[in-house]
Structure 1
C-alpha cells in the first residue's frame, strides 16, 4: 500500500469521526437541540419555544482547563543540561507555547482530543514550528504492537479553496494538494527521528474502542462532559419548561362569567380588544347583573427549582466538583481546610490528566530537540513537564511548609530542600529564579554582606 493509499484510508477514518465530534462541539458551544419535549407542545408553542441552555459543558471544560497550566520543561537532572533547557524554552516561547497549550487542552477536554505538530524551521536560523491541530482536521493511528503513534494525516482547505493533505509517519511526511479529482504531490520531507511528528493529546482514552456508526472510537478519547450529557439534556428541558410555565402561569389568570362579546370591545374605536389587553393590562367591567369575576393563583415554580437543584447535584457528582461549585450556595466553605477537602477529588482527577498529557508534551519537546540536532538530550527519560499545582493551597501555608524544609539540615549541615528548589516550588518562573540567583551572587560579593554573615556566625557559636 502506497503512502497516498494510507493517507486516503486515514482520511476516511477522519470523516467517520466527524459526526460524534460535531455532537460534542454543539454541546460545548451550547447549541445542542432541546430533548425530552413532547412534539405536540413544540407545535403548540411554535416560535415562542426558545430553549434555555445552561451551558455546563463549557463550565466543565473550564473547571479542568484552569488546573492544567504548564510552567515549562526540564531537560535532564543536572546543570550541564541548562543550555538544552534554554533552547527548549526559546522554541516554546517563540511558538507562543503558554497560549497554544491552553488551546490544545481546551480542545481536547471538549472534543476528546487535540493534536500538536512539530515541523522544521522555515529558515535555517528560525526555531522549529509547533502548532496545535483540531481533531476535525487530523487523526492518527497507533501501532498495535508498540502502542506508539504509527502514522497520521492532516487535511485542510486554504483561503483559495485548495484542499491539502499531509501524511506523517515515524520517518518523515509527504504533502499533496487536490487538483481536479487527483492528488498532486507538493512536498516531501524525510528524517530518521523514529517519532511521528503528529502528537495526540487525548482525554480519557480507553484501551478497547468501539466502531458503531455515529459513536466515538474510545481509543481516541472522550470529552470531559461525556458523563453529564443525559443529565444536561434533562436540566435544559426542565429550565425550558419553567419558562413555558412562566409564560402561561406566572401572572395570575382571571376568569369571568356572565359576559358577552360586547364587553371585550373598545368603547372608543369599536374594535375588539387584543389578547394582551384582556390578560394583563386592563380592568374588566360589565353592566350585567349576572357577571362574576375572579382569578386563579399564580404559579410559584418551586417544583422546577427543586428539580434543577437535584440535576445540578448529579452533574457535580459525576464531574467530581466540590458541592459549592453548582448548588446555589451563597456562602463560601468556612475555612481553607474545608475548601481543600471538598476539592480533593477534582484535584486528583486534574493530576491524572496532567500525567496523561505529560507524555504528549514531552514527545513534542523531544521532536523539538531532534529538530535542533540535540539527539543526546532527546530521550524520553530526560524530558520532564513542569505543571502548576492543580490544588488551591493558601500562599502562607505553602510558604510555611517550604521554609521549614529549607531550615531542616541533614547530618552534613545542608538543607534538605535547596533554596533553588524552594523557589521553584513557590511558583517562581525560570526568569525570576535566574534574577534571584544573580542577586545572590551579587550579595555574596558585597563586603557588607560578608561582614554581616561573619557576625551572625560568631553570635551563633560558629567558626
Structure 2
C-alpha cells in the first residue's frame, strides 16, 4: 500500500484541513439562516428579555433559495454536435438518482456559495460509476490558480455528535482513506485510479476573477431578514400590550372585585372578565383606544420591497400580494431578473455536472473522450404557460417546416422516452404525419 505522501502532498493536506476548519463558522451561520433558526437580536430598550423567546424570523432566506432551486431542472444531456440525448450519459445519470440529487446540489450552491460532487468507481460488477453530492461543510477543495485544475480535496466524516472519525484525501492519481486512532490519522486503504485529475468537482456561486471561493446567495439578504425579525418581535409585544384596548375604572372599590361565589379577585386579573358589576352608581369604566399596528405592517412591506430589489424575487413572493393576480405578460416581466439569475446558476451547475459525467465515463470506458463535449440542458426557468408554448410551436410550424416533430416535442419539454413513444405512435397511425420530418 503506497500511502506515503510527498512533502508537497503533506503540505496540501494540512492546508485543506485548515481550510475545512476555517469555513465551519460561515457555513453554520448560513445553514441557520436557511432553516430560520438564526438568533433574532434587539437593542434591549423596548423589548423585555422574557419576550425574546417568542421571536421568529420571516424566513425569506428559505423562500429565496427554494424558488431558485424550483426552477433548476435538468432536461437533457447531450454530446457536443448531437441533437438527441446520449443514452449512456443518461444511464449514468439515472443510475445515481441524480434527478433527485440535483436539488441537494442546487441548494448547497445557493446556501453555502459552493457545491461539491464526487465520482468513484462502483465495486459492484458492471455497476455504473458512483456520482454523489457531497456536503460542502465537510469537504475542502484547492484549485491551482495557474492550471485552474483541482490540486486536491479533503473530506471529513463525522459522527452524530460531531466527532471526526474518518477522512478521505483525494489526489490526481490516488485516493487515500484515513481513520482516527488514538488521536492520530492513520491511513487504511489506498485506491489508485490514475485518472490524472482529482475525482472531485466543485461549483462556485458569485465567484470573482482571481478567486476560487464562493459567496452565499443569502449574504445581502441576511441584514434585511434580521431587521424583519426584530420588527416581528416588537409587533408581538405591541399586540399583547398597546394594541389591546385598555380600560380605566373610576369610583370602584375592592368589594366590586368578587367572583360569582363571593370570593375576592385580584383587580388586575379581571381585565378579560366577560361581566363587570359595580356597586357605586357613579362608577365609570372608560376604554382607551388601542394603538395602531399599521406602522409595523408598513415597515415589513418596505423591507419586503428592499429584499425583492436585492434578490430579484417578485415582491408577491415575499408575501406582499395584490388583490388581483397579475396577467401572464406581467408575470414574465416581473420575473425577468429571477429568470436571468437561474440561467446563470444553471451555467455553473451545468458545467459541474458535465465534468462529473465526463469523469464517470472515464471510469467506465478508461478513455478520455468527453472533455468539453458534454452539454447539460435545463428546462426554461420562466413560469411555464402551456398555452403560450403550444401557440408558439404551432406558429413556428405554420406555413413552412421550421421544427421537426422531434424538435417540437423537445421544445415542449418531453423526456426522451416520451419522444420515442410519441414518434412510434405517429408512425403506427400513418397518414400525412406518419413520416417524421427530422432535420437532425
Q: Same fold (TM over 0.5)?
A: yes
C-alpha distance in structure 2 between counterparts of 1:144 and 1:192, whole Å = 22
Residues 216-231 of structure 1: pairs in structure 2 closer than 5 A: 219-231=212-224
| Distance of aligned partners of 1:421 and 1:282 in 2 relative to their CA distance in 1, 3 Å threshold | closer
Aligned partner of residue 237 in structure 2, secondary structure: helix
Residues 438-453 of structure 1: pairs in structure 2 closer than 5 A: 438-442=424-428, 449=431
Partner residue in 1 for 2:158: 157
C-alpha distance in structure 2 between counterparts of 1:119 and 1:144, whole Å = 25
CA displacement, residues 133-160 of structure 1 (integer Å, 9 cap, x when unaligned) = 1111112111011223221111103579
1:400 matched to 2:391? The reply is: yes
Q: 2:194 aligns with which of 192, 195, 208?
A: 192
- Considering fraction of residues, name the structure with more helix: 1
Q: 2:78 aligns with which of 74, 79, 82?
A: 74
C-alpha distance in structure 2 between counterparts of 1:416 and 1:301, whole Å = 59
Aligned partner of residue 20 in structure 2, secondary structure: helix
Partner residue in 2 for 1:182: 184
Partner residue in 1 for 2:143: 142
C-alpha distance in structure 2 between counterparts of 1:65 and 1:8, whole Å = 34
C-alpha distance in structure 2 between counterparts of 1:357 and 1:78, whole Å = 21
Q: 2:226 aligns with which of 233, 245, 248?
A: 233
C-alpha distance in structure 2 between counterparts of 1:147 and 1:250, whole Å = 60
Conservation of the 8 A alpha-carbon contact between 1:266 and 1:273: no
Aligned partner of residue 199 in structure 1, secondary structure: strand
C-alpha distance in structure 2 between counterparts of 1:453 and 1:208, whole Å = 56
Aligned partner of residue 271 in structure 2, secondary structure: helix
| Distance of aligned partners of 1:278 and 1:231 in 2 relative to their CA distance in 1, 3 Å threshold | same
| Count of paired positions | 427
Gaps of 5+ in 2: 1-6, 436-440
Q: 2:418 aligns with which of 406, 425, 432?
A: 432
Gaps of 5+ in 1: 210-218, 410-414, 455-463
1:318 matched to 2:310? The reply is: yes
Q: CA deviation at 1:309?
A: 0.8
C-alpha distance in structure 2 between counterparts of 1:376 and 1:38, whole Å = 60
| Distance of aligned partners of 1:283 and 1:89 in 2 relative to their CA distance in 1, 3 Å threshold | same
| Distance of aligned partners of 1:293 and 1:159 in 2 relative to their CA distance in 1, 3 Å threshold | closer
CA displacement, residues 296-324 of structure 1 (integer Å, 9 cap, x when unaligned) = 11123111111111111111111112243
Conservation of the 8 A alpha-carbon contact between 2:115 and 2:202: yes
Mean CA deviation greater in 284-293 or 421-430: 284-293
1:110 matched to 2:101? The reply is: no
Q: CA RMSD in A?
A: 2.7
Conservation of the 8 A alpha-carbon contact between 2:92 and 2:357: no
C-alpha distance in structure 1 between counterparts of 2:273 and 2:154, whole Å = 64
Query: TM-score, structure 1 length as denominator?
Result: 0.84
Aligned partner of residue 126 in structure 1, secondary structure: coil
CA displacement, residues 28-78 of structure 1 (integer Å, 9 cap, x when unaligned) = 11111112x232544x35157501321111000111111111123112324
Aligned partner of residue 154 in structure 2, secondary structure: strand
Aligned partner of residue 31 in structure 1, secondary structure: coil
Query: TM-score, structure 2 length as denominator?
Result: 0.88
Q: 1:339 aligns with which of 331, 354, 365?
A: 331
1:298 matched to 2:319? The reply is: no
